[in-house]
Amino acid sequence: MANYEVHEYDVLVVGAGGAGLRAAIEASSMGVTVGLVCKSLLGKAHTVMAEGGVAAALANVDEQDGWETHFCDTMNGGKMMNNWRMAQLHAQEAPDRVRELERWGAVFDRTKDGKILQRAFGGHKWKRLCHVGDRTGLEMIRTLQDRGVHQGITVYMECAITRLLKDGNKVSGAFGYFREDGRYVLFKAKAIVLATGGVGKSFPVTSNSWEYTGDGHALAYDAGAQLIDMEFVQFHPTGMVWPPGVRGILVTEGVRGEGGILRNSKGERFMFKYLPEATRNDYAETEEEAKIWVDAAIRGEKTQARRPPELSTRDNVARSIYLEVKAGRGSPHGGVFLDISYQDPDRVKKKLPSMYHQFKELADVDITQQPMEVGPTMHYIMGGVRVDADTAESQVPGLFAAGEVSGGMHGGNRLGGNSLSDLIVFGRRAGAGAAEYAKKHTAAPSIVDDQIKAAIDEMEAPFNRKDGKNPYELQRKMHEIMSTYVGIFREENDLKKGISLLEALKEEIKQVSISGTKTYNPGWHMCRDLRNMIICSEAIARSALSRTESRGAHSRLDYTETDPEQQKSNTAIFQDGDSMKLEKTPTPVMPEELKKLFVKKEPANA
């Protein structure tokens, strides 16, 4: 058996984005030993790409705001599929978590009276997104990173976890390798927090970085946890579509929050006609009204005008763009036009600096002069590891999950800005939950040698197979399958075809091979990542097939209506022997006092 190094911690956090860092900080402040593992360098996690802001009902700009409204917006945005308790905790705790970031050194944009400035975003009733220009994620990760570093958390960079180890039914450690030299490592741990982010790399057009190979989803699945709501994959409405090299790169919702207008090739402001009946009253009826709202927002004043239709929820805007393009009213490169150029150029550059540079440098487009071309790009998965709302613990004792890898918080569709707040609210709760758990279970974790041997064999295998499959070729195949059969609009036959192709691909992945050494060998890393991606791809496809309705981010061509009956159950995926099983589990029912918030037109504090 190959050599491996061993480290032992009370709590091991896998992933060093917003959720992982916040979890590590919390656990370490509770006096347990904490190790933090990340697949990239510290501070490079996908959180840096979050742009528009972090949602928290601070009511600095719109004083009518409060946690109740935030909660209702989140549940409505999630089409009532959310775990209500998570949505409640999230709405209640986000303001404190944001203030805490500021006390740790984050420097948010300010209102005229020196408070944290908040901007409008899709699906949020009030201006709620605390932001730093359009680089809020960077601000957050740097703040947490420095806080963590100064708190003395040990960080293992460029280290990938390939297996969770168990002692009986509970978690006892994690096995992985260092990308730099391929050496193996065993972390013994009483509790493990998964904070590995999402699954975007299963799709060809995505705003996600290479790390998003669904590692945490797959690790939890392998360890016996359930994955819920996997059919809900968010396509962000505005990704770049041209030139080809940048396809999928995110264009922040902040552009629309600052007044960006969507038009088709005929110059029509098409979002007016796609507003769902249920929320139509929250949006402007005419271009004039929308303009009054935008002008007031720019001046920092109040207005009776309602917000522009571009600020509808992401699922709706993405679908609308898709339909416009399909109807032949798209832009030259298969998107639609997003225009902010009617505003003062200096203001655009100040509020959206990275968008300005991104388009200028990568697409030769000056967004202060011309419209952008945008189209949907795979952005986020609402589904993930089923966790307890208060402690973030999964059904596997000792295994916790926070951030995108966890499921339930966002239901059928996530609102922009709720992701960053999710990270800090549930990152903290997972860290605390794990630390409590580790304190209760004082016995040292015991490791079964067979599990280590299996983990090592799995990693060695691609080197030993001669003339096997090229990992990059298999990833291209997976991209092809996912974009053709499991895209933004779904249909039974497509999904069935997709699943059978994925099953065939799964067999091919078992034949993957690589040559060379273990020293920083990305082909070798891909061999392992493929296995995670295929698990997530299959889970998405199977869950999508099982939901015979259209709801939130899940749109079926053969079931275009929302079926109230299906709100009552979540889709759960779990491993049964060698095969993937699916069952419907009841959606948690919210208590009466929360239900009341939805009955009244305005929540109590409005």
Number of residues that bind another protein (CB under 8 A): 65
8 A C-beta contact, residue 253 and residue 416: yes
Catalytic residue among 131, 256, 379, 490: 256
**CA distances (Å), origin 19, targets 12, 144, 154, 249, 295:** 13, 10, 16, 22, 36
Considering the rule CB under 8 A, would residue 231 count as an interface residue with another protein?
Answer: no
Sign of CA dihedral 173, 175, 180, 181: positive
Q: Which of 1, 5, 63, 150 binds another protein (CB under 8 A)?
A: 150
Distance in angstroms (rounded) separating the CA atoms of residues 414 and 429: 20
8 A C-beta contact, residue 75 and residue 414: no
Considering the rule CB under 8 A, would residue 249 count as an interface residue with another protein?
Answer: yes
Considering the rule CB under 8 A, would residue 258 count as an interface residue with another protein?
Answer: no
Q: Which of 7, 85, 115, 441 binds another protein (CB under 8 A)?
A: 115
8 A C-beta contact, residue 377 and residue 251: no
Considering the rule CB under 8 A, would residue 160 count as an interface residue with another protein?
Answer: no
8 A C-beta contact, residue 291 and residue 339: no
Which CB, 57 or 526, lies closer to another protein?
A: 526
In terms of Cβ atoms closer than 10 Å to its own Cβ (0-12, 13-18, 19+), residue 577 is exposed
Considering the rule CB under 8 A, would residue 177 count as an interface residue with another protein?
Answer: no
C-alpha Rg value of the chain to the nearest Å: 23
Q: Which residues have a Cβ under 8 Å from the Cβ of 52 and sit 6 or more positions away? A: 119, 121, 129, 131, 134, 136, 252, 253, 254, 257, 416, 417
CB of 536 to another protein, least distance (A): 19
CB of 525 to another protein, least distance (A): 10
What kind and span of H or E run contains 197? none
Q: Which stretch binds another protein (CB under 8 A): 355-363, 430-438, 485-493, 586-594?
A: 355-363
The answer to whether residue 236 is catalytic is yes
CB of 426 to another protein, least distance (A): 23
Which CB, 476 or 510, lies closer to another protein?
A: 476
CB of 44 to another protein, least distance (A): 4
CB of 430 to another protein, least distance (A): 23
Considering the rule CB under 8 A, would residue 459 count as an interface residue with another protein?
Answer: no
Considering the rule CB under 8 A, would residue 149 count as an interface residue with another protein?
Answer: yes
Considering the rule CB under 8 A, would residue 519 count as an interface residue with another protein?
Answer: yes
Considering the rule CB under 8 A, would residue 461 count as an interface residue with another protein?
Answer: no
Considering the rule CB under 8 A, would residue 170 count as an interface residue with another protein?
Answer: no
In terms of Cβ atoms closer than 10 Å to its own Cβ (0-12, 13-18, 19+), residue 576 is exposed
Coil vs helix vs strand at 423:
helix
**Interaction residues for another protein, span 362-391 (CB under 8 A):** 362-363
Q: What are phi and psi of 83, to 5 degrees?
A: -75, 110
**Closest Cα to residue 430, out of 85, 7, 11, 137?**
11
The answer to whether residue 256 is catalytic is yes
Which CB, 108 or 337, lies closer to another protein?
A: 108
Distance in angstroms (rounded) separating the CA atoms of residues 9 and 32: 8
CB of 250 to another protein, least distance (A): 7
Which CB, 509 or 590, lies closer to another protein?
A: 509
Considering the rule CB under 8 A, would residue 361 count as an interface residue with another protein?
Answer: yes
In terms of Cβ atoms closer than 10 Å to its own Cβ (0-12, 13-18, 19+), residue 346 is exposed
CB of 164 to another protein, least distance (A): 24
Q: Which of 49, 230, 311, 435 binds another protein (CB under 8 A)?
A: 49
Residue 467 neighbours by CB distance under 10 Å: 6
Which CB, 244 or 328, lies closer to another protein?
A: 244
Considering the rule CB under 8 A, would residue 138 count as an interface residue with another protein?
Answer: yes
Distance in angstroms (rounded) separating the CA atoms of residues 265 and 554: 27
CB of 255 to another protein, least distance (A): 15
**Closest Cα to residue 307, out of 279, 270, 344, 335?**
279
Considering the rule CB under 8 A, would residue 530 count as an interface residue with another protein?
Answer: no
Which CB, 53 or 78, lies closer to another protein?
A: 53
Considering the rule CB under 8 A, would residue 483 count as an interface residue with another protein?
Answer: no
**Closest Cα to residue 57, out of 427, 552, 415?**
415
Type of residue at 490 = R
CB of 246 to another protein, least distance (A): 6
**What binding mask, one character per residue, do residues 391-430 give for another protein by CB under 8 A, x or -?**
----------------------------------------
Catalytic residue among 217, 236, 307, 319: 236
Considering the rule CB under 8 A, would residue 107 count as an interface residue with another protein?
Answer: yes
Q: Which of 273, 280, 302, 357 binds another protein (CB under 8 A)?
A: 357
Considering the rule CB under 8 A, would residue 165 count as an interface residue with another protein?
Answer: no
Considering the rule CB under 8 A, would residue 342 count as an interface residue with another protein?
Answer: no
Query: Given phi > 0 = left and psi -120 to 50 = alpha, else beta, which region is 132?
Result: beta
Q: Which two tokens stand for residue 439?
A: 């304190």
- CA 470 to mean position of chain CA atoms: 29
Distance in angstroms (rounded) separating the CA atoms of residues 373 and 600: 40
Distance in angstroms (rounded) separating the CA atoms of residues 260 and 575: 45
Q: Which of 83, 209, 313, 406 binds another protein (CB under 8 A)?
A: 209
Which CB, 112 or 440, lies closer to another protein?
A: 112
Cite the active site residues: 236, 256
Contact positions vs another protein (CB under 8 A): 40-46, 48-49, 99, 102-105, 107, 109-110, 113-115, 132-133, 135, 138-139, 142, 146-147, 149-150, 155, 157, 180-181, 209-211, 242-246, 249-250, 354, 357-358, 361-363, 470-473, 476, 514-516, 519-524, 526
